[in-house]
Chains A and B, each alone.
Chain A
């Protein structure tokens, strides 16, 4: 069975089993390893991507469910060789430490900002509650998202 995906603006046709996880399609079939696997059961959010603008755990989404959809991953946030406003804010604020949660965290933050989210601490905490980070205590991630929201 063939599936069509538009990933970071590029259209791909994939001949894969329908129950193959979107995460594996991205990482192994398309070589987009920026999206990470932390638990494989939808608990950690490291595999977060946007599907038609909506934040999902790509480890829980079979590819058959997203046929024809538009997928945004961390690789699609900024053109190669540069950082977008949100990534820049993460860098300045010290929001990325080990970096393994960072791609998913950025996607959660992007969804929040796309929905018009502002710099309020409690709203940002709510927006990233599905994304676990073990390094930062979340403080500087929240700072970074607030900074991006202000800009």
Chain B
């Protein structure tokens, strides 16, 4: 845990019927921190993201942001989903507006922020395109632009690049970091991909298998931009592999 206080505090047990998905999961996140939640598929990572976003009520315990239970109406939240989430009937520009529109940001300010984000994710010239006209990587860039367009207290990313090819994924990871460094936002990035977590995170929270508890919380202090061949990178990958079990 680095300096910056405890902006987001999670302390939940989550059940779906008799199934315990999260078992006394407890962690906190500092302001402007980039945290990766790492776990095997089906361990409850998405549930963590949904709880943080207020899409799911906690069955026991709380998730608070600045001391207040997480609430999409009171907090500025944003979510980058794994599945295609752009509204197909809206153009690139109008998709990026959604969060600002809902929060009733005045038009000049809204236009300014949309233009800034289009510039930042390199989509200039594609503002008037519909989602079906652009590639998968571009669609996720629009989703990222939409998330960063609001001054979010917390941005959730749930395996946002899982459906992209290797090359595009690396490009997008670098891009997310660049935007995060520019906008200084708190990000929780959920993934099952070790390299992705090491490349992105300031801190990695490793979950156990279901019911998920915290297995480890590791600070990543490698210099940026991170190099996959760096000895520290390789050592950390090995360590995480051991933590996650034999299948890795």
A and B associate in one complex: no
